[in-house]
Structure 1
Amino acid sequence: MSTPVKTFPVWGFFLLITNGILMLSVILLIWRQQQLTTAFATTTSPAPVNLNNINRPVVSELGPRHKLNYRQWLDVLKQEATVAAAKSPQHLTIMAGDSLSLWFPPELLPEDRTWLNQAISGETSDGLLKRLDLFDQTQPETILVMIGINDLIRGVSDQEILANQRQILRYLRRNHRQSQIFVQSILPHGGEEATWEGKAKLLAIPNSRIRQLNEEIQKIATRQDVKYLDLHPLFTNKQGNLNQELTTDGLHLNPQGYLVWRTALQIYNNKQLAPQRQENQLGTSRERI
């Protein structure tokens, strides 16, 4: 009796093609922007926040902020959110999270939107959950959330991290009904090659645990009708650790790492906008008819 021939599932083939296209796009954009990378590596602190001109991106002054305590951080973010709410800039996009989001170079953020950075260095999922009301009065078109690595460093259980993630997304969905909400995967760390001062704490966190945690976060996003942006594969090397070419110390990102992140945001944004464009074009055609 002949052995049945196993066939490769169609969905698996489609997934391989999609990931291949994404990776190729990332590589091409990095290649095109190599000259920018050197410039950004030596860039000083970004210009102060200026919300008086709503045509300019909303960015935060990062220079002296590393000296602020947590209470002072909250006061600054509240002030910026209050100004953004008053100005109501077009295509407002909020970044909520920890130092990875905080240090996203404003020059590398996609130019077609107005940015409000509501991240705090060292932030945890519990901390973010408790301060989401700071930007309640804003009307963002998009909210990007990345949180969790500091929870792991501090020994918080997966159950508590996922419970906080669930509450964060539920809160945002309830209070920003017109916004597109994206939860982004937790990035891996550099493993043995990390040079961050808390390396021992990183090594206590298997990167396989981060992958499993991301799978659960994706399930939560699906159940809550929130978009999930899987950045993890774009930053991982063959060993499953954070790619050394994309990090400064095995935890934080260098300019090239932010180029990869920027590209993923651009590709996913274009992917989401495509159906809307088609619908608008269809509506225009109907009007002509």
Structure 2
Amino acid sequence: MSTPVKNLPTWGFISLLTNCVLLLAAFLLIWRQQELASVLATITYPEPANLNLDKQTFTPELGPRHKLNYKQWLEILQKEAKAVAENSPQQLTILAGDSLSLWFPSQLLPENRTWLNQAISGETSKGLLKRLDLFDRTKPEMVLVMVGINDLIRGVSDQEIINNHQQIIRYLREKHPQSQIFVQSILPHGGEDTTWEGRKKLLAIPNSRILNLNQELQKIATAQNVVYLNLYPLFTNSQGNLHQTLTTDGLHLSPQGYVVWRTALQIYTSKKLVPPSENQENNYRQDRI
């Protein structure tokens, strides 16, 4: 006499399907991190001359913008975001952050995308949080956030930086629910080789602290179902400092540094990740209550 087969209840099927999607997403992220490491391991970084840029004199092509104050920067970024929103370009990708993003050479940004640079030199996580509404009307496919080093230089606590990142992620997810949000790790500094004018303040921040802070940022990115892009190990030397060939002064990046960053972005932005599951969306809503 055969035993009757019990039908799998609906909630059980949904739970099984959700777990499968989560497992697939985990495998995909692990594979991409491994792919990124293997690709970068084969890169021969170009000499500054090959990019027609001298490491020692490398400055971004911002023209008179270098003389703008913060209020003027906000006005410029608002106008640019408005123009982009009115044209609704395909594959819009937004850079949001401080001078590291601001100075990203346009010729080194991954191709086949429309880039909107919403970064300001000297920006902090609190400052970025307050001005995210500047590009509310845009419809980005991706938003890339990197901010935090200026907070550390100004003495902001790790917890405040983490709290600001949490609010940044929540805001972006609410205003741009169809966008892929990337939280990028804070980069190390050059240690004793730093020549930046604020060297003393920078050296007061151990790179081990930045590494620990990045681990916390990874946790909140995972909890809020956004992509964490771990650039930190790609820029460090054997002492754990920012590699000399990748920086101009121990804080800002050289052309070679932007080549490394570009390669990482090419790998991560060339394919879409698995979209959030219904269960993850519910967790996100509960987290905001």
* CA contact 1:30–1:260 (8 Å) conserved in 2: no
**Which digits, 9 at most, give the CA deviation of each residue in 1:18-68, with x for residues without a partner?**
76642341244445x55874414478865xxxxxxxxxxxxxxx1111100
How many residues in Structure 1 have an aligned counterpart in Structure 2?
Answer: 246
Give the aligned partner of residue 217 of structure 2.
Answer: 217
The sequence identity of aligned pairs, in percent, is: 67
Q: 4+ runs of 1 displaced by more than 6 Å?
A: 14-18
Alignment of 1:1-289 (within 5 A): 21-31=35-45, 34=47, 37-41=50-54, 46=61, 62-270=62-270, 272-273=271-272
Alpha-carbon distance, 1:196 to partner = 0.3
Unaligned 5+ segments in structure 2 are 1-27, 276-289
Alpha-carbon distance, 1:143 to partner = 0.2
Alpha-carbon distance, 1:218 to partner = 0.5
**Which digits, 9 at most, give the CA deviation of each residue in 1:44-94, with x for residues without a partner?**
865xxxxxxxxxxxxxxx111110000000000000000000000110000
The DSSP-based 3-state class of the residue aligned with 2:52 is helix
* CA contact 1:30–1:256 (8 Å) conserved in 2: no
Distance 1:36 1:89 in 2: 33
**Which digits, 9 at most, give the CA deviation of each residue in 1:95-143, with x for residues without a partner?**
0000000000000000110000000000000000000000000000000
Return the letter of the residue paired with 2:105: P
Q: CA 1:18–1:76 in structure 2 vs 1: closer, same or farther (change >3 Å)?
A: closer
Give the aligned partner of residue 49 of structure 1.
Answer: none
Q: CA 1:190–1:89 in structure 2 vs 1: closer, same or farther (change >3 Å)?
A: same
Distance 2:59 2:187 in 1: 25
Return the letter of the residue paired with 2:272: L
The DSSP-based 3-state class of the residue aligned with 1:253 is coil
* CA contact 1:195–1:250 (8 Å) conserved in 2: yes
**Taking structure 1 as the reference length, what is the TM-score of the superposition?**
0.80
The DSSP-based 3-state class of the residue aligned with 2:144 is strand
Distance 1:127 1:257 in 2: 25
Return the letter of the residue paired with 2:131: R
Alpha-carbon distance, 1:250 to partner = 0.2
Distance 1:16 1:274 in 2: 12
Unaligned 5+ segments in structure 1 are 1-13, 47-61, 277-289
**Taking structure 2 as the reference length, what is the TM-score of the superposition?**
0.80
Distance 1:30 1:230 in 2: 20
Return the letter of the residue paired with 1:26: L
